[in-house]
Amino acid sequence: MPNQLLQYQIAISLIPGIGDVNAKKLISYCGAAEAVFRETKKNLLKIPGMGVATVNAILSQNVLERAEQEMLFIEKNEISTLYFLEKNYPTRLKSCLDSPVMLYYKGNANLNASRVVSVVGTRRSTAYGREVCDQLISDLTSPDLLVVSGLAYGIDTQAHRSSVENNIPTVGILAHGLDRLYPAQNRALSEKMVENGGLLTDFMSATVPDRENFPKRNRIVAGMADALVVVESAKRGGALITANIANSYNRDVFAFPGRVSDTYSEGCNYLIKTNKAALIQNAADIRYLMNWDDVKKPGRQAKLFRELNPEEQQVMEILKNGEPVGIDYIVMQSKLSNSKIAAILLSLEFDGMVSSLPGKMYKAV
């Protein structure tokens, strides 16, 4: 990728107040990241949602200068960049409308592993919670599995540590830039994770772990997963917020139950009681409920000589790389209505050209 192109892609995410959703709309209207910065003020103001302050920020070119500084940090520290329109971007996360435009990654794990499990829980974990988490990870060993968590104290740390001990790739999602680590006590653990897993963030260097950064971190933890497991949680906290986000993304959510008198099981029991999470007792329950057997089922043969109409061709073009893609992403890329895309996918699935996956994900057969 030419350096100048990367500079534009980083700069898009730095436009003050734009957010990821509007940044993607801006790219879609202009055709590419670099085109945004070459557009005239008059044309930019015609784009829905683009106010004068945002347009002036684009035209000032200040974000391009900051992006150039970040590129020096990226090169010096051997960090990978993952742009939302590129193949190496996490496909599950890509299906979320509010997924980050740009991610920064240090590690070697396959972020598009066949099975991705996110594990969350309280920072104030109990001995019971840590034991349950350790047993879950050690029993979850599966071909092409990735374990994701937030590298915080408590359950997150246990999930990463158990993954490292069981030689399972594990990725920590950070609420700050890759020039620091929070909490600092996990530095040694993070170094082992980079050897078999990695660290991922949508925050640039010099970003500190402020409170307002954690909701964005939680969205990535939820969006990257096939299944999200809440091990231990009080009735209020980040783990429950992440579970709610996962439900909004149509991910499968699971929770371990606890005694009614245990403060740090109240959240799990609440999720189960309100049907926001399925009750599990072990890793076998997840494999069963996710239908994760290792026997490959024969796919249906596509009808011969099937002639696709232009809209069907457009959908198949979006799915052509064979990776799972969310329906929201297909709608965004095709600019067709949700109902229209749903009908097209159903027809293509009936003809054996597309298969549906958990979480409203689809892939070409």
pLDDT in tens, 295-329: 444 344 444 445 889 899 999 999 987 788 888 88
Residue 98 lies in a domain: no
Looking at the fold, whether 169 and 27 belong to one and the same domain comes out as no
Task: Express as a percent the part of the chain with pLDDT over 90.
Answer: 71
The mean pLDDT value for 224-231 works out to 97
pLDDT for residue 141: 80
Q: Number of folded domains in the chain?
A: 3
C-alpha distances (whole Å) from 65 to each of 7, 36, 38, 82 are 9, 15, 15, 20
What pLDDT is recorded for position 26?
92
Both 115 and 255 in a single domain?
A: yes
Classify residue 39: in a domain, yes or no.
yes
Of 289, 324, 345, which one is at a domain's C-terminal end? 289
Residues 263 and 319 in one domain: no
CA distances from 279 to 28, 187, 253, 255, 271 (A): 41, 33, 9, 5, 9
Q: Is residue 302 domain-resident?
A: no
Q: Per the domain annotation, does 259 fall within a domain?
A: yes
CATH number of the domain to which 264 belongs? 3.40.50.450
Q: Measure CA 146 to chain center.
A: 12
- On the question of pLDDT at 123 being above 80, the answer is yes
Residue 88 lies in a domain: no
- For residue 295, tell me if it sits in a domain: no
Q: Is the pLDDT of residue 1 over 50?
A: no
CATH code of the domain containing 327? 1.10.10.10
Does 263 lie in the same domain as 325?
Answer: no
Asked if residue 200 and residue 151 are part of one domain, the reply reads yes
Q: Which amino acid is at 310?
A: P
pLDDT tens digit sequence for 70-84: 999 999 999 999 999
Whether residue 234 is found in the same domain as residue 327 = no
CB 277 within 8 A of CB 120: no
Model pLDDT, residue 306:
58
- Domain co-membership, 334 together with 193: no
pTM of the full structure: 0.80
CATH of the domain at 54: 1.10.150
Asked whether residue 343 falls in the same domain as residue 197, the answer is no
Residue 31 lies in a domain: yes
Sheet arrangement for strand 354-357: 325-326, 361-364, 354-357
Regarding whether 270 and 350 lie in a shared domain, the answer is: no
The tokens for 199 are 């660290």
Place of tokens 């534009």: 8
Question: Any idea which residue has 């969205």 for tokens?
Answer: 219
Tell me if 61 sits within 8 A of 34, measured CB to CB.
no
Say if residue 15 is in the same domain as residue 131. no
Do 189 and 136 lie in one domain? The reply is yes
- Which residue(s) pair with 357 in the sheet? 361
As to burial, measured by CB atoms within 10 angstroms (0-12 exposed, 13-18 middle, 19+ buried), residue 262 is middle
| 241 inside domain | yes
Domain that holds residue 48: 3-76
Residues 272 and 135 reside in one and the same domain: yes
